[in-house]
Amino acid sequence: MVEFTLWDILRNLLLAARWTVALSLIAFVAGGALGLLLVLARTLPAGAVGRWAGRCVALHVEVFQGTPLLMQLFLAYFGLALLGLEVSAWLAAALALTLHASAFLAEIWRGCIEAVPRGQWDAAASLALTRSEQLRRVIAPQALRIAIAPTVGFLVQVIKGTALASVIGFIELAKAGTMITNATFRPFAVYACVAAIYFAMCYPVSAFSRRLERRLNGAR
Amino acid sequence: MVSLDFAAVLEQWPLLVQGIGATIWLVALAATLGGFLGIACAWARTWGPKPLAWLAAGYVESIRNTPFIVQLFVIFFGLPSAGVRLSPEWASALAMVINLGAYAGEIVRAGVEATPRGQVEAGLSLALTPGQVFRRVVVPPALARVWPAMVSQIVIVMLGSAVCGQISARELSYFANLIQSRNFRAFEAYLVATAGYLVLAIALRRLLLWVGPRFLFGTVWRG
For the stretch B88-110, pLDDT in tens is: 999 999 999 999 999 999 999 99
In a domain, A196, yes or no: yes
CA distance A35 to A106: 5
- In this complex, do A74 and B190 lie within 8 Å of one another by their Cβ atoms? yes
Instruction: Please give the residue of chain B at the shortest CA–CA distance from A73.
Output: B190
* B181: contact with A, CB 8 A cutoff: no
CA distance A72 to B191: 9
Q: How far is B67 from chain A (nearest CA, A)?
A: 5
The whole-angstrom separation of Cα B77 and Cα B91 is: 9
Nearest to B73 by CA among B100, B93, B99, B91: B91
Q: Helix A6-42 crosses helix A48-65 at what angle (to 10 degrees)? A: 160
Residue A88 placed within a domain:
yes
Angle between helices B172-183 and B186-211 (to 10 degrees): 160
Please judge whether A68 and B81 are an interchain contact, meaning their C-beta atoms are less than 8 angstroms apart: no
Chain A residue numbers with beta carbons less than 8 Å from the beta carbon of B62 are 195, 199
Non-local CB neighbours of A91 within 8 Å, separated by 6+ positions = A80
CB count within 10 Å of CB A204 equals: 12
Please give the pLDDT value at position B1. Answer: 57
Write the CATH number for A60. Answer: 1.10.3720.10
Residue contact A202–B65, C-beta within 8 A: yes
Which residue among B61, B70, B79 sits closest to A174, beta carbon to beta carbon? B70
CB atoms A70 and B65 under 8 Å: no
For range B6-14, the mean pLDDT: 88
- Helix, strand or coil, per DSSP, at residue B15: helix
Q: What's the pLDDT tens digit per position in A63-104?
A: 999 999 999 999 999 998 888 888 889 999 999 999 999 999
- The CA distance from A178 to A185, in Å, is 10
Please tell me the predicted confidence (pLDDT) of residue B216.
83
Contact indicator for B188, B212 with CB cutoff of 8 Å: no
Number of domains in chain A: 1
Residue A185: band (very low, low, confident or very high) from pLDDT cuts 50, 70, 90: confident
For residue A62, is it within any domain? yes
In a domain, A188, yes or no: yes
Q: Is it the case that residue B223 has pLDDT exceeding 70?
A: no
Set of chain B residues whose Cβ sits within 8 Å of the Cβ of A99: none
- Amino acid present at B131: G
CA B68 – CA A175 distance, rounded (Å) = 14
CA distance B71 to B89: 14
Structure ipTM: 0.90
Contacts of A55 (CB under 8 A, 6+ apart): none
A149, part of any domain:
yes
Compute, in degrees rounded to 10, the torsion defined by CA atoms A145, A148, A151, A155: 170
CA dist., res. B122 & res. B141, Å (int): 15
| Interface A-B: count of C-beta contacts within 8 A | 115
pLDDT tens digit sequence for B34-56: 999 999 999 999 999 999 999 99
B78 Cβ contact partners less than 8 Å away, ≥ 6 residues apart: A187, A188, A191, A192
User: Under a CB-based contact definition with an 8 Å cutoff, are residues A117 and A74 in contact?
Assistant: no
Confirm if B19 and B171 have CB atoms less than 8 A apart: yes
Q: Tell me, what DSSP letter sits at residue B222?
A: -
* Closest-CA distance of chain B to residue A73, Å: 10
Q: Report the chain A residue with the minimal C-alpha distance to residue B191.
A: A75
Q: Is the CB of B61 less than 8 angstroms away from the CB of A203?
A: yes
Q: What is the structure's pLDDT at B221?
A: 47
What's the pLDDT band for B219 if we cut at 50, 70, 90? low
pTM, entire model? 0.92
| Host domain of residue A105 | 6-219
Euclidean distance between the first and the last CA atom of chain B, given in angstroms as a whole number: 58
In-domain check, residue A181: yes
Do residue A68 and residue B194 have CB atoms under 8 angstroms apart?
Answer: yes
Residues 6+ apart with CB under 8 A from A15: A176
Find, in chain A, the residue whose alpha carbon is nearest to that of B177.
A74
| Contact indicator for A122, A171 with CB cutoff of 8 Å | no
A1 within a domain of the structure (yes/no): no
Q: Is B99 on the interface with A (CB under 8 A)?
A: no
Domains of chain B in sequence order: 17-216 (1.10.3720.10)
